[in-house]
Chain A
Amino acid sequence: MIEIKGVSKTYGKGKIKALNNINLEVRDGEIFGFLGPNGAGKTTTIKQITGILKPDSGTIKINGIDIVKNPVEAKKHIGFVPDNPEIFNRLRGMEYLNFIGDVYEVPEDERYKRINELSEAFEIRDALSSSINSYSHGMKQKLVLIGALLHNPSVWVLDEPMVGLDPKSAFILKEMMRKHADSGKTVFFSTHVMEVAERLCDRIGIIKKGEIIFVGTLDELRHLRKDNDSLENLFLELIEE
């Protein structure tokens, strides 16, 4: 569960207003899609959920734990995939995963089991002995994804996860997200493509220029307009207004 209450954020010592009084609740057992055009504030929101940035005001709780007051505890509940997999380029894939395993205190046998499974599924097992700087963008993303899921976190936070993944891996990821939510846990992901959200999400939130302009199920979004427009057009209309 993720609870965001009254969060605002500015950049550049208050000059650029990125988020204005955001309120959101992502419940257990659901996939929540966070939609918005480029520069709307999706990444900024996600960076605050994961403790990378400190909100100027407001609170964020992960499974009831405040991310600012108790960061180390709260972060243990999160599996995070950033939009740009700029990670420790000079490590080998396996060294990276082992480091993540140490940080999240994953026991050795479990570590082995999950890395074996996940790297097999995403087809990067053979690359694990190579240096990360020899990976393609997609391979880096897969590695980060495996790292994020290594400690079996209850809350998944993914920033534009489908960008750069090949179709097969994207399909596997979607399946995994579904399974995770169905087992009663939380998935929060951002995207700027309505189509992805439409197929996958239980509920969506739409953000525009740092403000939430819609939160609800896809049906609720359809009911907003009586005419039989596509969701894509609806989304475009909403963010144009």
Chain B
Amino acid sequence: MKKAWALTKIYINSLYGISGFINSFKTNKKSAFKTIALILLILIGLLGTASAFIIYNIQLYDILRPINQQGIIISNSFIFAAMFTLIFGIVGIIATYFVDKEGDIILSMPLKPWNLLFAKFFTSYLYEAVLSLIIMATGVIVYGVKSGEGLLFYIISFIVSLLIPVIPLVVSYIVIIPLMKVANFLKKKDVVMIISGFIGALFGVVIQLSFQDTMMKMNKNPEVLREIFTFQNGMVSIASRIYPPSTWGTYAIIDISSTRGFTGLMLLLLTAAVAVILLHCFMSEMYLRSLIGSTEVRKSERKMTEKELKMGLRRRNILTSLLLREIRLMNREPIFFLNGPFVIFLIPAILGAMLFIQRDVIAAQLGTILRYNTSSYYSTLIVAGMGAFLGSMSSIASSAISREGKAFMYLKSMPIEPVKYINAKLLHAGIFGVMAGFITCAIGYFLMGVTIGGLMLAFIISQLLMLPSFICGLLLELTWPKLIWDNPQKAVKQNINVVIIIFGGMIFLYGTAAAVYFLLKTPIYGYLVLTIVLAVINVVLYACLISYGRKRFYEIEA
């Protein structure tokens, strides 16, 4: 056990860079100040997103209270938390499966297979636990405050929230370890990593849809309906037919003093413990074997013909060539891809499914906001906002220079115009931004019924809204690139520029939304002012980027 913990600490530091944070607090006041500023930024960004959930839960509580079904809020949050931890668990596990060339170093240490698996399991658990706590908090706090619950309620909620990710995480490992074993056997690690990412996302969506399906069938069944309304919080028990732990957890939280509450908690604890033990008993060996030899890559043994060589050597203009290099380097490194462009496909898959499931509730809520004839105005802007949100989540621009790593220095020895280099990076982010725009427009069309005209406007505004986050990301990267790394994880996941842009971008979007809501109430005038203001911001920012980048490019030293 001691060895497992020691390894866990190594992983935690290597993946989250926590000791660096702590050190900066101890030694350097200036960088400690930066850290605090960063944490504040994250909190404000998160609060904005969480507030949407909180408002939703408050309204739900008021609707459900009269029929005594307010427990749904807790079971809803539980299911969301479990679903999110499942999907993020799968993607997160894939992205952190191979750490720091461990195939060679850590495997040579005298560790038992289960030590290795436990260390990795616990490291991914930490991240998931935080995610679960945040999601649960949006429901628990609303319920707790509204029902005037005491301390015990919050303590139990905390414990339950910590238990939620365990089962999804065990499931994720059971799905992924065999996949990685195959990947290792085929020596096609990268391809399998990316494919498993998609499988994970798909898996999550399928689970959500089948959940939705079961709910529908039950609602039509009079037997079930009677059961729901005759018992207090009877609706909660329905969830158990799909995912029993959610009922155990909910009863534990809302009713710990009763038998069903207490047994719920015990059942939850027991299941989590058994799941973890079973995972380590049966999968450790396979996990180890999936790591051995993982640093090998497959070579093509085929000889190259004259013709192939000639075909491969095509002259392109320098901007195209730079752009092509960007796209290849990002998409072929699974860690870059999963943390970057992949997000553009993952988030819509999750949100789309969520919107689909809850479309009646959301339509009702939107209806109250969207009275008068301005409904198309606001739904257009909501689509634009979602597109911009998605585009700025890709991290392509905000990790653009860090991703080069040590090769950046070599790149600097080449006769490349800094302006072209920067434009290629911006274009790369822009291409995926356009994709994000299209995806959200599709969501707007199929789920929200926005008109084609509205979608065209939404598309343009979404591009104007996300462009500042690309440009600011590049400005940050030019100023503080993180070029020294041995694990690509460090250029994206542990890159402060990425974090600043994701949360700064959220704050920018909330700010814009508030400004539009209070200042730009009429459509024509609103579109016009918004477009012009955003266009001016973008032109000014771009001019800054070019004049700064032209000089700064030559000053970057590792």
Residues on A lying within 8 angstroms of B by beta carbon are 47, 50-54, 68, 71-76, 78, 80, 82, 84, 86-88, 90-91, 94-95, 97-108, 111-112, 115-116, 125-131, 133-134
Contacts and interface: CB of A to CB of B under 8 A. Distances in A.
Contacts of A126: 303-304
Task: Indicate the member of A74, A97, A107, A134 with the most B CB atoms within 10 Å.
Answer: A134
Given A90-B328, A90-B329, A95-B328, A71 B415 contact: yes
Contacts of B309: 94, 112, 115-116, 128
A149 B368 CA distance: 69
A80 B413 contact: yes
A86 B298 contact: no
25 contacts: A50-B412, A51-B413, A52-B410, A52-B412, A54-B554, A54-B555, A82-B413, A86-B406, A91-B329, A94-B304, A94-B313, A95-B328, A98-B312, A103-B415, A103-B416, A104-B414, A107-B315, A108-B313, A108-B314, A112-B310, A116-B309, A129-B300, A129-B312, A130-B300, A134-B299
Contact of B325 (A54, A72, A91): A91
A130 to B, nearest CB: 5
Contact of A103 (B306, B318, B329, B557): B318
B321 A99 contact: yes
A88 B304 contact: no
Interface in B288-318: 297-300, 302-304, 306, 308-310, 312-318
Contacts of A103: 318, 321, 414-416
Nearest to B296: A134
* Secondary structure class of chain A's binding surface, majority of residues: helix
Contact of B332 (A74, A90, A134): A90
Given A88-B325, A99-B325, A131-B297, A104 B415 contact: yes
A128 B300 CA distance: 10
Interface in B541-558: 554-555, 557
B409 interface: yes
A101 B318 CA distance: 10
B342 to A, nearest CB: 16
B422 to A, nearest CB: 14
Contacts of B316: 102
A84 B313 contact: no
Contacts of A105: 318
Contacts of A134: 297-299
Interface string B393-413: 000000000000111011011
Given A54-B557, A101-B313, 15 more contacts: A51-B413, A52-B410, A68-B554, A74-B415, A91-B328, A94-B313, A95-B328, A97-B313, A102-B317, A103-B321, A106-B315, A108-B315, A115-B313, A116-B309, A129-B302
Given A86-B406, A99-B321, A111-B315, A75 B413 contact: yes
* Secondary structure class of chain B's binding surface, majority of residues: loop
Contacts of A91: 325, 328-329
Given A82-B410, A86-B410, A102 B417 contact: no
Contacts of A129: 300, 302, 304, 308, 312
Nearest to A135: B299
B415 A76 contact: yes
A57 to B, nearest CB: 15
Given A51-B554, A111-B313, A75 B297 contact: no
A107 B315 CA distance: 7
A179 B380 CA distance: 68
A130 B296 CA distance: 13
B333 interface: yes
A97 B304 CA distance: 15
Contact of B315 (A80, A82, A101): A101
A229 to B, nearest CB: 38
Nearest to A116: B309
A161 B11 CA distance: 37
Contacts of B412: 50-52
A71 B299 CA distance: 38
Interface string B127-167: 00000000000000000000000000000000000000000
A51 to B, nearest CB: 6
B321 A102 contact: yes
Given A54-B554, A71-B415, A102 B315 contact: yes
Given A86-B406, A99-B325, A103-B414, A133 B297 contact: yes
Q: Give the top 5 A-B pairs by smallest Cβ distance, nearest first.
A: A102-B321, A75-B415, A50-B413, A90-B332, A86-B406
Given A52-B412, A102-B315, A87 B407 contact: yes
A72 B303 CA distance: 36
A127 B299 contact: yes
A88 B410 CA distance: 10
Contacts of B417: 72
A94 B297 contact: no
A73 B417 CA distance: 10
A51 B553 CA distance: 11
Contact of B414 (A68, A75, A97): A75
B498 to A, nearest CB: 19
A80 B317 CA distance: 22
A10 B198 CA distance: 48
Nearest to B315: A108
A52 B410 CA distance: 7
